[in-house]
Chain A
Amino acid sequence: MWNAECEMKRELKITTEPIDERALVASRRMSAGMGAAACFTGVVRSDEEGQSISAIEYTAFPQMAEHQFNLLFDEIAKRWPIESVRLVHRLGVVKVNEPSLWVEVVAPHRGEAFAACQWLIDEMKRVVPIWKKPLP
């Protein structure tokens, strides 16, 4: 039975530094009762709305982005038995093929891990003030 009183661990990084997926995976911590770690990496595509691009420049309203991410994490903690959420979003110029977003959700089972990860990304695209500008 999920105990919503349990503290969900959360890590949020909004950064201009490149996302080091290998280091993030290496630093994963899961307790013995956890059976699923759902990871998502968002990568810059070479085309945006039919136009060929070389990169995307991400900008944000950083204080509000952090606050809105934390509200989403609060909601995840209420909805699913998640042990931890980690999210890294890159700002600045991100070249094609480079990751702009990395999300990890650790849960007892894959169902809630996938569901929470999908929900978090969908909601992020609705409420977190980050914008992208394609660069030719």
Chain B
Amino acid sequence: MRIAIQFYSYFADLAGCAEASEDLPATATIGDLMHRLHARFPKLAAMDKSTLIAVGVEYRPRGYVLKEGDEVSLFPPVQGG
């Protein structure tokens, strides 16, 4: 299945792009996706512990099982106000 990924804030600078996509096997989790992304974008791997992850507009844990068409967003801690 194909998963779309968006990077926000300085994560886009670290990745060198604002969007990417990955082809993953069915039943892959966000954790599986993160393995792929860290290999592809090593600068993001260093931020792993502080990375926030959403699918659509909801926060999701790394064990979340992805499905075709999911849009995953990765970003650093938020700083509104």
User: Which A residues lie at the B interface, using CB under 8 A?
Assistant: 42, 58-61, 63-68, 89, 100-101, 121, 124-133
Q: How far is the CB of A93 from chain B (nearest CB, A)?
A: 15
User: Which B residues lie at the A interface, using CB under 8 A?
Assistant: 6, 8-10, 52, 54, 56-59, 73, 75-76, 78-81
Give 14 A-B contacts (CB < 8 Å), ordered by A residue.
A58-B80, A59-B8, A63-B57, A64-B73, A65-B80, A67-B57, A68-B57, A101-B80, A127-B59, A129-B54, A130-B79, A131-B8, A132-B79, A133-B10
Choice from A63, A66, A89, A133 contacting B80 with Cβ under 8 Å: A89
Q: Report Cα–Cα, A127/B79, bound state, in Å.
A: 9
A100 touches B81 (CB 8 A): yes
B8 touches A42 (CB 8 A): no
A42-B81, A59-B9, A65-B80 given; 8 more Cβ-contact pairs under 8 Å: A61-B75, A89-B81, A124-B80, A126-B78, A127-B78, A128-B78, A129-B75, A129-B78
